[in-house]
């Protein structure tokens, strides 16, 4: 899950359509509602029967490191399918809130197709990185956190001065506005500290957050950093155009 005690609220700068962001949010919500994790479908039963169905569901569609690296058929696809599976209502809503806040502007800047490929590719690699670091784990890993963390990393590079309203729960929820270059490195630091304290077993995959965020930032830097124009070679002057037989001018 992306956020534990910080929730952010924001909006797109230009208000342009972001169909990929909205489609992914709707798809994740729909998959969650019809699956056993929501507890809404009576076909999955109740009590222990529901818990068994949930575990089987997460194991089927989530990333299980031992199975992934054990060469089981179809396991190579699980870092992609796991991006659309969530373990609880809080898990889903927290991830989708962060994705909505930071996905709109990032999609607007990247373009729809590139953003979709970026989301899926970075999400896949984030979960793969977590699985590689926990190769002996038999726990199922699900959630879009790795992909959304990549969106946060890209957002930090693309819009460092964009102001984000953050809700900090002190004695009450206190809304404060900070630029992204303050909020997102602070969030990254929290994930880093939490990853160092986390123990093997069920919980939040902080390492997937760190991998995803780093991938997103590096991708945005490599893709959108300012390019310096090539300097002309000293002592060489451009000559007149060379006419070739049959050459015609075209506008």
Looking at the annotation, which residues are catalytic? 145, 209
Pairing status of strand 163-169 against strand 7-9: antiparallel
The DSSP H or E segment spanning 121 is helix 112-133
Taking the C-alpha atoms of residue 199 and residue 202, their distance in angstroms, rounded to an integer, is 9
Dihedral sign, Cα of residue 188, residue 193, residue 199, residue 200: positive
| Residues contacting residue 210 through CB under 8 Å, at least 6 positions apart | 149, 188, 191, 192, 195
Q: How many CA atoms lie within 13 A of 197 on its CB side?
A: 7
Q: String of b and e for 23-50 (b: at least 16 CB within 10 Å)?
A: ebbeebbebbeebbbbeeeeebeeeeeb
Three-class secondary structure of residue 72 per DSSP: coil
């Amino acid at each position: 899950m992306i956020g534990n005690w910080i929730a952010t609220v924001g909006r797109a700068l230009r208000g342009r359509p972001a169909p990929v962001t909205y489609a992914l949010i709707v798809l994740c919500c729909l998959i969650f509602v019809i699956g056993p994790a929501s507890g809404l479908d009576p076909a999955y039963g109740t009590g222990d029967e529901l818990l068994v169905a949930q575990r089987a569901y997460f194991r089927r569609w989530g990333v299980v490191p031992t199975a992934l690296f054990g060469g089981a058929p179809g396991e190579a696809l699980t870092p992609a399918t796991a991006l659309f599976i969530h373990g609880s209502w809080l898990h889903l809503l927290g991830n989708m809130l962060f994705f909505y806040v930071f996905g709109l502007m990032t999609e607007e800047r990247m373009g729809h197709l590139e953003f979709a490929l970026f989301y899926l590719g970075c999400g896949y690699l984030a979960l793969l990185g977590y699985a590689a670091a926990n190769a002996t784990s038999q726990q199922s890993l699900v959630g879009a956190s790795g992909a959304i963390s990549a969106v946060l990393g890209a957002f930090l590079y693309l819009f460092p001065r964009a102001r984000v309203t953050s809700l900090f729960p002190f004695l009450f929820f206190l809304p404060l506005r900070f630029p992204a270059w303050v909020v997102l490195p602070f969030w990254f630091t929290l994930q880093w500290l939490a990853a160092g304290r986390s123990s093997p077993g069920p919980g939040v995959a902080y390492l997937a957050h760190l991998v995803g965020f780093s991938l997103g930032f590096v991708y945005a830097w490599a893709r959108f950093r300012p390019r310096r124009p090539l300097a002309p070679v000293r002592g060489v002057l451009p000559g007149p155009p060379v006419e070739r037989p049959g050459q015609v001018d075209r506008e």
